[in-house]
Amino acid sequence: MRKNIAVLASGSGTNAENIIRYFREKSSACVALVLTNRQNAFVLERSCGLEVPCFYFPKSDWENGEAILSVLREHDIDFVVLAGFLARVPDLILHAYPNKMINIHPSLLPKFGGKGMYGDRVHEAVIAAGEEESGITIHYTNEHYDEGAIICQVKCPVLPEDTPDDLAHRIHALEYDTYPKVIEKLLESEG
């Protein structure tokens, strides 16, 4: 039976688009829904252009999660994927999807994670700390930012001349290659 994935995103939606396109070719799962917490997030336009239902929910709805959970249930969502989602997921939704909600973070957690650590802020911190490697961490989502059980990490070098943009480019390539495959493997292991 084909699994339905919901993607939560707050920004431009490049990871969301990559995941949507990846699963278009698969019979095991599809992205059935995209949700955002930002009214002007480009992910809305991207999703609509790919004919995936997409919804914006204001901050008040993300506080208790009832309206969001209702939409997830209406779309028979089996698995939730955070892709650049910059809000805390309400406990109500976390508890409805135990071990069925994952996030991707642009560093090797536990380093450079936590509230407020996203995007260029992470890459700037990695470079400022003089790290020789960075990468991505895919982990289960729980009540604390970037603290869920780690599923996998993929590393890349941090070069002495790297700018945050250089490092971001390398990290995005890892995300696009790895995240959909990990999602697929997790769904397959569920049976």
Which sequence positions are flagged as catalytic? 105
Strand order in the sheet with 133-140: 54-56, 29-36, 3-8, 79-82, 101-105, 133-140, 150-157
DSSP state of 63: H
Going by their DSSP bridges, the two strands 150-157 and 133-140 should be labelled as antiparallel
Residues forming a β-bridge with 31: 5
Residue ranges for the binding site for (6R)-10-formyltetrahydrofolate? 59, 103
Where is the binding site, in residues? Answer: 13-15, 59, 103
Helices in the chain by DSSP H: which ranges?
Answer: 14-24, 42-49, 59-64, 66-74, 91-96, 119-128, 164-190
Please name the amino acid found at residue 141. T
